[in-house]
Structure formats: C-alpha cells, structure tokens
Structure 1
Amino acid sequence: MIDLKKDKFIKASLAGVFSAFTIGILTLITYKTELGLFLAASFGSSMVLLYGFPESPFAQPKNIFFGHLLTAFVGVVFVNFIQLPIFMIIPAAVGFGIFLMIMLDVVHPPAGGNPIMVIIGSASFDYLFSPIITGTVIILFFGVILNRYILKKNYPQQK
C-alpha cells in the first residue's frame, strides 16, 4: 500500500528544496555579480507549478517563458505608451495580458502579476531581457535538469 502522506511529504520537500535552489541561484547572480537583475516576484509562484505540479500544462516551458514575456511586454507597453491614471492602467494591462495568454495558448498563471510589477516599477523594455528572458531561461534550465534528469519525470510533457 502506498503511504500517501509520505508521498505528499516527499513531493512537497523536493518542491521546496528545488524552488529554494533555483531562486537562490537567481538571487546570487543578482546580488553577487554585476550581471544585472534576475529576479521577478512572479518567479516565486512559478516555482509552485514547475516543481510542485510539473505535469500541469501551465508549468510547461512554452507557457512559463512566453507567459512571462508576453505579460511583462504588455506591462512595459502600457506604462510607457498608455496615458491613463495608474488605477486604470494596472487593471487594463493585467486583463489584456491574461487575454493574450489565453488567445496565444501560453497561459502561466504566475505571469498574470507581471504587468502590476512592471507598471509600479515604471520598467523599460530592458526589463524584458533582464530579469524576464534571462530569469525564465535559468528557471527552465534547472526545471528540466531537476524534473527530467534527477526525478526522472516526463518533463517537459510531449503532446
């Protein structure tokens, strides 16, 4: 008989350790090198999907990469080109980002918060490269290594 509590404990432990490791690498690169910013708040919730539920369609590399990139891009466009008060621009950007993720089949729920961060921080297009592109590439690198090669999971899932 399978001990479900033990399996859940192991799954949760591995997800926690791998999440801390991945975010730790991004933090180390951000604060101990001159390479730039590699952290976005939404990356923390990406860890929940990537390591806790890698079988989810929302945790697949295409969704993680393009979901983050698309919604951060929407935030940058809105904050730099749409002249509305912040209480209007934030919900409009979040809604449009979610609309695009669904339409383009790259839904990654944690990315839904990116326009908020981008607009509050008045980010420029540089934000798309660092931390969004560079950070998600590093996240996906560790996600594939740990899920596929260490845990022997079917990640990324093949359609």
Structure 2
Amino acid sequence: MFSANVVEGLAYYQRSKAGSPGGVIMVMWMAAFVTPKGQSMLDMLGGNWLPWVLPKQETLFYHDMTSEAQQAAIAKLKGQPTQTFLEKVGYECWHDMPSMYLFCDKDQALPLAFREVFAKVLGNPAFLSVPDQVMEALELALKEGRAQSGIHVD
C-alpha cells in the first residue's frame, strides 16, 4: 500500500537543492486511491466499504488472466489492514513532484467513477495482464518525471 506521506521531502528537486543524491522523480498511481490531505480512503469512498475489502472477494482481482496465473497471483495477496482505509492523509505529494494516474480499463475492484475522481485530484487524467502497456506507461512516467525534475540524461 502506497502512502503519499512516505515520500514527503523526497522529491528529486528537494534532495538536489539540499545537496543530497537521488529522489523521487515521479509518482504513479495504477488504478489506486489518490487521497487529499485531511481525508481517508474510506472518506473518498463516501464512507462505504467496497466488496473487495471484505474477505473472500478475490475474483475481482486478476479476472482477465489465465486460471493458473490468477491463482498464483491471488496466493501472493496479503490482507489490507483496515487502518489504511481510516488513516487521514497528512501530505499531498503531487504538489511537490510530477504525478501520473494510470487507468486500468478492466479494473473491477475500483469503479471507473472513483478512478476518474482520483485522477482529477492529481490534475491530470492521464496490470499484470498487460505488462507491455504498463511498461510503456512507466517509461513515459520516467521520461516526463526526468524532464519535469530537470534531469538530463545523455
């Protein structure tokens, strides 16, 4: 689970300005929650729990993969702690670093209407079953992140 709080102060330009190496050049959300400061993920859902938060709802995930690949992926899933849905966000990293939202067209866990709202929070409406497309999006994110962070690579 990604929390925007964990990247506070880690933007490339912030670290570079402080004389520190490295840093985050872009944050990418893939069919995920984007939660504004002072709100929780449950707040973003209008206070309603989605079906996959409850036990035994694995069929929502990896539905477009072969049965064998689906079972292998499901076997690796870990429970999502309830607290992650209740914790209020204290930092909006998209103000300090380039950010991108990747829509997953066939996502059955998070309704499209929610994903569209999350992308709008970032200001840009810009997985496993289509790795080439995810790779293209990651390469674009890397290129855009470098350009927006002022990183020039020969």
TM superposition score normalised by structure 1: 0.26
Higher helix share: 1
Higher strand share: 2
* Larger relative contact order (CA 8 Å, sep ≥ 6): 2
